[in-house]
Structure 1
Amino acid sequence: MTSNSFLRAARRTLTAGAAALLIGVATVPSLVTPAAADDGPASVADLAQGLLGAVVNISTSQRVKGTEGPGAVPMPQLPEGSPFQDFFDDFFKNRPGEQGNPSQKVQSLGSGFVVDAEQGIVVTNNHVIADADDIEVNFSDGVTLKATLVGTDTKTDVAVLKVDPKGHKLTAVKFGDSSKMRVGDWVMAIGNPFGLGGTVTVGIVSARNRDINSGPYDDFIQTDAAINRGNSGGPLFNSAGEVIGINTAIISPSGGSIGIGFSIPSQLALGVVDQLRQFGETRRGWLGVRIQPVTDDIAESLGMATAKGALVAGVIKGGPVDNGTILAGDVIIKFDGRDVNEMRDLPRVVAESTVGKAVDVVIVRKGVEQTVKVTLGRLEDGEKLASGENGNTDKDTGDEPPAVPTASVLGMTVGDLNDETRTKFGIAAEVSGVVITDVAKDSAAAERGIQAGEVITEIAQESVATPKDVMDRIAALKDQGRKNALLMLASKSGELRFVTIRMD
């Protein structure tokens, strides 16, 4: 079936549905003829027939230790010769945790699809094969092959398997371009949940760029094509028979499809699959910055016309931009030619970039747009570096330090950062600025979650070192007609974040 005929059938379906709805409103059911009522979409059998052979069932098994100890349920004492003796023997003595049966083999099922027939490469979800001891791939013609794990990526929930195709001809499908899919485009989901053969469902793209808080690179395609239990890891096809998504999750109170399913877009999955095949692991680009959203208040404080981009809250020591190329307080609005409209856009476009690549990054610094050149590091190395960057330097001597010069502003009491205040609040030696010694209850500062012991390092991207600096900067912002003050705060260990405080 061609793409055009697929879409023509869809249009006929929508037209018939709209007509039926209007007739229902007019309450004239006699106008619906049998021919019109039976006019559904043209068959998609030809399209499905060419794809079913590439969709496989993934069967996994795992040895789990039995439960022993206080939580174990003891076998009841039965009278000698009880007719229930055999039943309870089967139930209790074969339970995991009983003597002679210390573990149990647990099995699970999912779906996948072949992307390379010659090499025997199969793609599925990571959660389908996670912690499995044995993995088998069951094909629609009844053949079962043992699979080895090539690589997994927990961040995108993608896994790559390999089977030996010798003596068995495999059917493969290819990835399409998910970026070309529009809301309303028809799609087909195929799964092989129980090894009985493929199941086919048809629907449309309900939405794009969905963030369901499942990982750092959420960019799901939402579809109303039915995705049920065991369909995880199966492909979502466009009308040309190309894979534009990997079915991975549903929203459902019952476990069955209610028309809200999510697929990993091929634009994201393809790069992960290629890296897993080549390296057995992912090798993502890394910028080495901590970021936070640009809110309307922050945009106003920075003199930006619209709230967009990713605000750099800190630069990781030893990272790619620790040389001053990008600074805390910069707003990244474009990366390697791709717009960064929201904070969540940046991690994804950086991760999809090649390690060691030199890219242009467009930033807004103190209201001025400029372009800087950055050479990317590797995210997996950066995660190790970042995890060891912050230490806990909290100290509590129990002694009250002598009084220090203070000032009250915006619901905060601020003071000099010296040996006494460092000791009192456990502030690391490398942190500089003005310490917040108290925050008034129900103040604008309290509403923003500001706490005593945090350090103001900048106000409106200007460094402050004394309480007087803080007062002067706030007064200058008010004179400029600003409604909010943008503060860069450092935690006790030196981790930075930005907050805005109302000044009215």
Structure 2
Amino acid sequence: MKKFFSFLSIAILGGVIALGGYKAFLEKPVVIERTNEQPIQTFQTNFQPAFETTNASYAPTNFTEAAEKTVNAVVHVKNTAEKSGITSWSDLFNGPRKYEQVGTGSGVIISSDGYIVTNNHVIANATDLEITLNNRKKYKAELVGTDTENDIALLKIDADEKLPYIPFSNSDNVKIGEWVLAVGNPYNLTSTVTAGIVSAKGRDLEGNGGITDSFIQTDAAVNPGNSGGALVNTRGELVGINTAITSRTGSYIGYSFAVPSNITKKIIDDILEYGKVQEAVIGFIPEIKEDLEGVIIKEISEDSDAKKSGLKEGDVIVKINDVKISKFSELSGQLKAKRPGEYVNVTVDRSGEILTRKVKLSKKIKRFISNAFQLEFKDLSKKETKKYGLSGGAKIIREARNDNGNDSLVGFIVTSINGQRINTADEASKLLDNLARSRYRIKVEMINTEGEVERYVFR
């Protein structure tokens, strides 16, 4: 029994020694790492979000109010013109057949008693004009007057009720980037509203046949049939008359152009008061430089009101009243909205000195200019027709491309263009521009300053 306890004691002691040796020499220590998370500290800064520091409204853009105000005041214009021509083999033997040609466009009611503004090209050569309101009522329209240069026409209908109309806005206050709506009847889809922004102002469309060179450019979708329709702001006020697009296909590709409301209103007022447009000018010949902001006064007559007011040759016009002038189209747009006899404040840069002069506007003298050839013509005097034995012709009085060159055409008299006899300066300027747009070869017969006949061919 004693031996048993001795063996047991020895066994226990041996286990304790073995366990202690293992702990001391063989077992690797286990290290437990603890991470104490520190609380995130916050710091006050001076930054404040923009919406807390401005008065801007961030409500979603909504055009429903402007659309409701304007859609019933934009009308469908149907233009019927009588034509004659040969359309079949029988017409060759029986003579030209008369037929009707129908065109459509849009118009804007501008008064409750039925005055409607549209584009001149919408109603040109019409023998019958029909207006369809948004409620589908139809009326015959009377042509009150037109302005072909700015492509504006005024119509009148006699309705049996007061009509909804769109009030004019001041187009000088329109901002680039401002939302606008185009309201019209594209492709005979009546009462169509599209939205866009003002992309540019005072836009000049090269080769636009003399039509106003001070358009409002937008990216609101405008297509055939929209011509004569309304361009309105988000308050439903008229800022322009949709007139043109630039496109290689004839359909909208991103840009549309409108005659500003200030020009439109002035034309309408002139037609109603005088029967024709009263055009105002400052009274100088400009010099155009693409790399210069403003318009240079190149020539100014000694007896002009502009000269009397203190303007000088070499002055650069930079502002009319409170409107900045960067290019000639902007100056032209401001003057188109004025009448002869009105006074304007003209601000000029004279060799670095900024001066403002009050100028009385003069009545525009009709000028005949070929934009394609940059030539200005005048009708022949009786003395000149007698001297050269002519019944008519067009004398070149200015040549922008070569005013003082050795090969200048100034003083030459144009007598025929592509075989067509020229009787007036108006005929010469229009025919040259029409042929240039059609890319025809142009043959011009002229009498030089020595009285000799010369012939030129332009390609």
Same fold, TM-score > 0.5, yes or no: yes
Q: Does 1:53 align with 2:53?
A: no
Equivalence for 1:130: 124
Change (3 A) 1:294 1:64: same
State whether residues 187 and 223 of structure 2, in contact with CA within 8 Å, keep that contact through their aligned partners in structure 1.
no
Instruction: Name 1:32's counterpart in structure 2.
Output: none
2:94 matched to which residue of 1? 99
Amino acid at match of 1:188: L
Q: Indicate yes or no: 2:195 matched with 1:202.
A: yes
Structure 1 partner of 2:59: 8
Q: Does the 8 Å CA contact 1:160/1:277 hold for their aligned counterparts? A: no
Match of 1:186 in 2: 179
Judge conservation of contact 1:362–1:372 (CA < 8 Å) in 2. Answer: yes
Q: Report the 3-state secondary structure (helix = DSSP H, G, I; strand = E; otherwise coil) of the residue aligned with 1:268.
A: helix
CA distance in 2 between counterparts of 1:132 and 1:366 reads 53
Q: Residue 188 of structure 1: SS of its match in structure 2? A: strand
Structure 1 counterpart SS, 2:141: strand
Residues 202 and 329 in structure 2, CA contact (< 8 A), matched pair in contact too: no
Answering whether residue 280 of structure 2 is matched by residue 285 of structure 1, we say: yes
- Check conservation: 2:341, 2:362, Cα contact below 8 A: yes
Q: 1:127 to 1:292 in 2, by over 3 A?
A: same
1:22-53 deviations in Å (ceiling 9; x for gaps) = xxxxxxxxxxxxxxxxxxxx6x5554334222
Q: CA deviation at 1:9?
A: 2.5
| Compared CA separation, residues 382 and 365, structure 1 to 2 (3 A) | farther
Indicate if the aligned counterparts of 1:187 and 1:203 stay in contact, CA closer than 8 A.
Answer: yes
Shift, 1:8, TM fit: 2.8
* Cα pair distance change 1:320/1:112, threshold 3 Å: same
Aligned pairs for 1:366-381 within 5 A = 370-379=355-364, 381=365
Q: 2:406 maps to what in 1? A: 452
How far does the alpha carbon of each residue in 1:402-431 deviate from its partner, in whole angstroms, 9 at most, with x for none? xxxxxxxxxxxxxxxxxxxxxxxxx99xx9
For residue 151 of structure 2, what is the aligned residue in structure 1? 157
CA drift of 1:125 comes to: 0.9
- Cα deviation for residue 241 of structure 1 reads 1.4
Asked whether the equivalents of residues 70 and 166 of structure 2 are also in contact (C-alpha less than 8 Å), the reply is yes
Q: Is contact 2:202-2:330 (8 Å) kept?
A: no
1:241 aligns with 2:195: no
Distance in structure 2 (CA, Å) of the matches to 1:157 and 1:252 = 19
CA distance in 2, matches of 1:182, 1:371: 25
Larger Rg: 2
Report 1:165-184 matches (<5 A): 165=159, 167-184=160-177
2:259 to 239, 247, 264: 264
Equivalent pairs: percent with the same residue? 33
**Cα distance, 1:236 vs structure 2:** 1.6
CA apart distance, 1:262: 1.6
- Taking the TM superposition and a 5 Å limit, the aligned residue runs for 1:481-496 are none
Aligned residue in 1 for 2:316: 331
**Correspondence 1:61-460 to 2 at 5 A:** 61-67=80-86, 75=89, 93=90, 99=94, 102-118=97-113, 120-165=114-159, 167-193=160-186, 197-213=190-206, 214=208, 215=210, 217-294=212-289, 307-315=292-300, 320-321=305-306, 326-336=311-321, 338-363=323-348, 370-379=355-364, 381-383=365-367, 388=378, 451-452=405-406
Q: Secondary structure at the match of 1:206?
A: strand
TM-score, structure 2 as length reference: 0.62
**Alignment check: 8 A CA contact 1:336 1:359 kept:** yes
The answer as to whether partners of 2:187 and 2:225 remain within 8 angstroms in 1 is: yes
Partner-residue secondary structure (3-state), 1:61: strand
Partner AA of 1:140 in structure 2: N
Q: Could you tell me how far 1:290 is from its partner in structure 2?
A: 1.5
Write the letter of the residue equivalent to 1:128: V
- Gapped runs of 5+ residues in structure 2? 1-54, 369-375, 385-395, 410-447, 450-459
Amino acid at match of 2:229: G
Q: Distance in 2 between matches of 1:103 and 1:59?
A: 19
CA distance in 1, matches of 2:190, 2:146: 26
Q: Give 1:111 deviation, angstroms.
A: 0.4
Count of residue correspondences: 335
The amino acid across from 1:205 in the alignment is V
In 1, Cα distance between equivalents of 2:65 and 2:290:
50
Contact residue 214 and residue 332 of structure 2 kept, 8 A: no
In the TM superposition, residue 365 of structure 1 has moved relative to its aligned partner by 5.7
1:312 offset after TM fit, Å? Answer: 2.6
Structure 1: segments with no counterpart, 5+ residues: 11-41, 76-92, 297-306, 394-426, 432-446, 456-491, 494-504
Counterparts of 1:291 and 1:225, CA distance in 2: 33
- 1:436 maps to none
